[in-house]
Each structure stands twice: as C-alpha cells, then as structure tokens.
Structure 1
C-alpha cells in the first residue's frame, strides 16, 4: 500500500474543502510538528479544533524518533531548512512516504518524493 504524509498546508486545505479532487487511496500519516502547528494557531475556533482533532485521529502520527531527529539534523545542515520543515521532510523520508504539500521548499530535497496538491480557488 502506498504511503503518504500530509504537510501542515495539506491538512489545512483538506479540512477547508480546497482540494480539487480526492486524495489517492493509501496509508496516510502526519508529523507531530504539523499537529503542534495546527492546534496552536492563535484564534483557532473550537469547531476548527474539533475538525483537526477528528481528522488527525484517522491518520498515523509520526513521532519525533531518533531516526527522524537524525534525518532532520542532516536536512538542516545540507538544505538549510527551517526546523519544522526539516522534521516534516524527515518524517516522510523515515516512513518512505510521498509528501503532499504545496510548499516549494520541499521540492529540492533528494530522497524525498513530493506531490503537489491541486486546489480549487476560494469563493
């Protein structure tokens, strides 16, 4: 079964109904960093908090394991990623997962398969 990791922006687009089509079948995960970014957003409504929490409960969480930490360190040194991006990329690499994201920073990383998201325009 194909593995996918959703970047923070992919989760936001999914919850907001902005994806132009369905995601492919597969096993989905997210980085613990995305969980922190999503749930610590200032002004997050109780309704959005619940939507995020319910969606994340359906996915596999990638914790900050030793392997993920070491990969993130390597990515920060080689690619000068921001720390959250390095951890998200390392999580996808560690899971051998395709990263769904529209963040251009990820597109230059060898060893990381990235899939952009097709979005519908906001109304």
Structure 2
C-alpha cells in the first residue's frame, strides 16, 4: 500500500530520531505513521526549534495515515475489548486497516488479535 513497509508507533519514532540502534534495521524502509503519532510527537512541551525542525523533516519523509471511519470504528472496538489507551487503539487500528506491521516497544500491543507486531527493545547507550 503506497510503498509503506511498516507503521511506526510514537516510541519507535522517538528511538529512530534519537539514533537508538534498535531502529537501525528499519531506517532504509518506507515508514507510515498514524496521524495520532504525528500529533503526539509534535506536542512535546520541551521541544526546541531545532527538535521541531528535525521532527517535521522526518514526518515529511513518512506517509501520514489519516483517521478514516474504518479506523475510528476499529479503534473504538479495540479500546472497549483490550482496555488500552485511545492513542494506542488508533495506532493499532491504523496498522490493522492497512495490513501493515506495527513497530513499537510497547508490549501492551501484544494483546491485540490480528495485529502484526514487531516489538523492539531499545538499546541502552
């Protein structure tokens, strides 16, 4: 779908932008991100102008996947059944809707049936 190889969760984006080696295998791939991850990553209060410029450049290199009716309804169902946070439900529903693997360090996604999950372990530097 549109040349996207993976969907990156917000924590995976943070690890990638900070140069954490856990994301090295995915650097050369085309990443998709949920609109909610874009919002989360741009809303950090301690972000400097340089940080924002770097993040916006990264986002421009990704495909941002909007919130559709299908994703919205699936996220509602996931939140009810799995009792996960709404942003996580939206990210998971996006990955499922596009039939793409989700890269994340958040183990709570393991409980979601039908989600192709790639769990990363951050490398301590």
Fold equivalence (TM over 0.5): yes
Which ranges of 4 or more aligned residues in structure 1 deviate by more than 3 Å? 24-27
Contact 2:35 2:66 in 1 (8 A): yes
Question: Comparing both structures, which one devotes a greater share of its residues to helix?
Answer: 2
Partner of 2:106: 103
Q: Which ranges of structure 1 fall in alignment gaps of 5 or more residues? A: none
Task: Tell me the distance in 2 between the aligned counterparts of 1:24 and 1:13.
Answer: 11
| 2:84 is the counterpart of 1:64 | no
Q: TM-score, normalised by structure 1?
A: 0.91
- Cα separation, partners in 2 of 1:25 and 1:2, compared to 1, 3 Å: farther
Q: Which ranges of structure 2 fall in alignment gaps of 5 or more residues? A: none
| 2:5 is the counterpart of 1:3 | yes
Task: Tell me the distance in 2 between the aligned counterparts of 1:39 and 1:24.
Answer: 20
Task: Tell me how many residue pairs correspond in the alignment.
Answer: 122
Q: TM-score, normalised by structure 2?
A: 0.90
